[in-house]
Structure 1
Amino acid sequence: MKNQTISHFRDIHVHAATVQQWSQDYSQLTAGSAESTLMQLTTAGCHLFLEQINQRVVQNGVAPRGKMCFAVPINVPGSIRMQGRDVDDSSLFFLHGGEEFMFHMPMGMELLSITFERELFEQALEQTASAKELNLLLRQPVIKVSPQRFAQARRRLLALFSQALADDDLDSTRDREREMVLEQAMLGELLQLMTDPACDKQQRSPSSTRSFIVEKCHRLTTTEMINVPSVIELCQRLQVSRRTVQNSFRAVAETTPLNYLRSVRLNGVRRALMSTRACDLSIGDAAAQWGFYHLSHFAAEYQELFAELPSQTARAAISGFARG
């Protein structure tokens, strides 16, 4: 039976934890109160969600196993990187189930994600005349398609999603039939985009060096939380100049390395606070776990990024921030 929800959040971590089936963390990179909307719908064969966030966010995690995961950018309001690839307004995103990912989402972006059960998608794929070509194409995380066709498909996909959300008739005798119609319509739109003659089946989009540098710095910062490497140390480890690192962060995340990496760490503290009770983890200990040892400086930086003090952040007992 179809399950649907429409939610509004004032915190990206609660937003991320509410997305069904996905194991992922969101880190807010721009300063100010977060406001976001998440609409999701689940059928027997697919999970769809439409999200919009007012702040710049970096998402990283693992795609749900046993799935074939697509995403359609509804708008492209700034610099976007998906798996290190440049994205334009006629790019389709794709992940295999179980694949690690990193996605840089600009302020105000709206994204429609469509995740199919692998078996359902492969059955539909086998019925196309170019299944072998499409399997090669699906090795790419960013698939560039015809801009005109993409705009048309985007409108139809949004209309299908909106219509399904608005459908309150849950008569069990017809519900699965409507689910199957929705699933086949979504599959049809995506397969038509990729089989279109205007879509280059041989396209290859390698990850950029700049994206590699940002991702490597991000991962080093989150794995070495207590002894966080400085920007100079990161340059030495990656054997690149400071200017190269600066330019990489400007191009990929539209900020400086210092601001980006500090924001990622502050988000780590926020997740720690929201997932624990105050009696189990103090603010000072949570900050120290992420390399913040001067509490007054930490509190000021935290407030600047999230528009609230650490002491105002809802803890686990009342926030409901827990992964299902």
Structure 2
Amino acid sequence: MTTMLEGASEPSEVIVHHKTDKVAPVRCTAITDDAHEQADNLTNWDQQYDQVSPGRFYGRIDELHLGAMQVYNEHSSHALRQQCLVWPDAIWFGIPSNREDCRVNGQSLEATDILCRPGSTQFELVTPAAFDMLGIVVREKDLMAAAAAQGIDISTEDARQVARLRLPEQTLTNVRYLIRRIVQSTPERLDGCIHRDLLMMALLETLERETPNGAVPPSYLHRKAVVERIKDYVEQACDLPVTMAELCELACVSRRTLQYSFESILGISPLQFLRVTRLNRVKRMLSTGGSDSVSDAAGYNGFYHLSQFSADYKQLFGELPSQTLARHAAPA
């Protein structure tokens, strides 16, 4: 291309390089003091969280969308039990900040494990206090198309069959560093297409080098079945059991087996599970319009001594049930 520069008597040749428009990622940050709201703040996930450890909750999600790829860091101040579901035709990869006391479907994590689950497949996470999860969700067809374009032969079968993938330590370090840097960057400092490609290459390397971790203790299947039996009953029943004897009868196991099952799968005792589940059900009702009365919501979940219930509720959530109801009441 030739152009005349202002003030010049002769044409001057100017080389103009082809420029492509920068594609800015979509970024959002959600901060909340309610674990139940935290579950709804991760875009396009279907989730339900129960707060397990006591005190006022703080949660933050920093989320980027690079085309159809979702990248995020989720922080939670308190221990949670999470029921999670990723959108269809996608695969989720998660890197926890702390593997101790973190479980996926009742399975503990080893030193270099990452988590993975396909879309439309419900899974359960148990996470400790002061916890961060780095995550990527990508459409499976995009992942396979990227592999084909690079001439890389990969399979997503391991990610479908097991919830834990073991990585070489350096691969894990590299992937963690890349995700963290991208999530922490401001959108104007990122070209969405370039960083999407960087993350896609990191995922391809992950799938090339992973080893499925399907190891579980011999007692795992039986203990998980015991816990699932109680969880299914609690989820569906209005009249909840309140004693160990009732729980043992429901699960058809001894007190010792019940105790070991809950501690190994969920990291809490069966009575603690029952108490925390009932209190979270009350809070969910008060937060979402399921009840306009504290006493009705408490009674529905088996709490009839209101003064003790209020004390237990405040201990777990850091506020009285009446305060929860008032904060979420519809404006007059």
In structure 1, give the amino acid aligned to 2:102: I
Distance of 2:273 and 2:289 partners within structure 1: 25
Matched, 1:75 2:98: yes
**Are residues 153 and 62 of structure 1, via their aligned partners in 2, closer, same or farther at CA, if it must alter by over 3 Å?**
closer
**Runs (5+) with no aligned partner, structure 1:** 170-174, 319-324
Cross-structure match for 2:306: 295
1:235 to 2:255 alignment: no
Contact 1:74 1:154 in 2 (8 A): no
Conservation of the 8 A alpha-carbon contact between 1:40 and 1:49:
yes
Q: CA separation in 2, counterparts of 1:271 and 1:257?
A: 21
Q: Which residue of 2 aligns with 1:189?
A: 202
State the distance in 2 between where 1:98 and 1:138 align.
11
Instruction: Report runs of 4+ in structure 1 exceeding 6 Å deviation.
Output: none
Residues paired across the two proteins, number = 302
Instruction: Choose from 275, 282, 301 the match for 1:269.
Output: 282
The structure, 1 or 2, with the larger RCO (C-alpha pairs under 8 Å, 6+ apart) is 1
- Greater CA deviation, 215-224 or 6-15? 215-224
User: Is the CA contact (8 Å cut-off) linking 2:77 and 2:131 kept in structure 1?
Assistant: yes
Residues 227-272 of structure 1, C-alpha deviations (whole Å, 9 max, x = no match)? 3464323323323221122123333443321112211111111111
Distance 1:124 1:142, change over 3 A: same
Residue 151 (structure 2) pairs with residue 113 (structure 1): no
Note the aligned Cα RMSD (angstroms). 2.4
Matches of 2:154 and 2:160, distance apart in 1: 10
Distance in 2 (CA, whole Å) between partners of 1:240 and 1:40 is: 44
CA distance in 2: counterparts of 1:305 and 1:204, whole angstroms: 35
- Give the corresponding residue for 2:34: 11
The residue number in structure 2 matching 1:308 is 319
Q: Deviations over 1:275-315 (max 9, x none)?
A: 118xx621122223323233222212111111111001122
Question: Which amino acid in 1 is paired with 2:84?
Answer: G
1:125 deviates by 4.0
Structure 1 residues 215 and 148 mapped into 2: Cα distance closer, same or farther (>3 Å)?
farther
Give the alignment of 1:1-324 within 5 angstroms.
2-76=25-99, 78-127=100-149, 129-132=152-155, 134-163=156-185, 166-168=186-188, 178-196=191-209, 199-200=210-211, 203-205=213-215, 208-209=220-221, 210-228=223-241, 230-276=243-289, 281-313=292-324, 314-317=327-330
User: 2:69·2:139 contact (CA, 8 Å) conserved in 1?
Assistant: yes
Segments of structure 2 that go 5 or more residues without pairing to the other structure are: 1-23
The alignment's TM-score, normalised by the length of structure 2, stands at: 0.82
Change (3 A) 1:211 1:49: farther
Higher Cα radius of gyration: 2
Aligned identity (percent) is 24
How far apart are 1:206 and its partner, in Å? 5.1
In structure 2, what residue type is equivalent to 1:204?
A: G
- SS of the aligned residue for 2:193 comes to helix
Cα separation, partners in 2 of 1:167 and 1:53, compared to 1, 3 Å: same
Contact persistence 1:249–1:255 (CA under 8 A): yes
Instruction: Specify the SS of the correspondent of 2:188.
Output: coil
2:224 and 2:127 mapped to 1: Cα distance?
Answer: 13
